[in-house]
Amino acid sequence: MDLRAIVRNCYNKLCEECLLKTVYLALQKELVSELPKRKEKPKVPHYVVTAVVIRDGEKVLIAQRAKDDMLGGMWEFPGRKLEDFDESLQVGLKREILEELSVHIDIDEPICVYKTCLYPL
C-alpha cells in the first residue's frame, strides 16, 4: 500500500484497512471521529462600497490611496465603505463625498453594480 492510499484511508476513516492501525493512537483511544480537529475558517467580511466618477468636461477626478492603507498607493475614484446608518447607496455616497472633498454632488444613473468576495490575506 502506498502513502497515498494510507492518507486516503485516513481521510475516509477506513481505519481497519490501514497498515498503521497498530500505531494509530486515535484508533486505540476511539478518537477517530473527533480527529483531525479542523480550524474554524475566519468569516469573510462583507462590505458595501460605493464610488463616484466626478467629471469636469474631459477631466476625471481620481485620488491616490494613502500608502499605509489597504492597497496603499493605488489610484481610485472617490468613495468609501457605506455605514449602517446610510439609507441607500446614493445617500451614503453623497455623505462620503461631502466628508472627503467638501463637495455637494448630484447623482445620475449608476454606471454599474457588482458583487465580489474579498478573502483576508
Q: How far is CA 36 from CA 12, 43, 68, 96, in A?
A: 12, 21, 39, 47
d(CA 78, CA 60): 11
Instruction: Quick: pLDDT tens for 3-14.
Output: 555 555 565 666
Domain residue ranges in the chain: 3-34, 39-121
**CATH classification number, 39-121, choose in 3.40.630.30, 3.40.640.10, 3.90.79.10, 3.20.190.10:** 3.90.79.10
Cell of 54: 466626478
Instruction: Quick: pLDDT tens for 44-94.
Output: 777 888 888 888 899 999 989 889 988 899 999 988 888 888 888 888 888
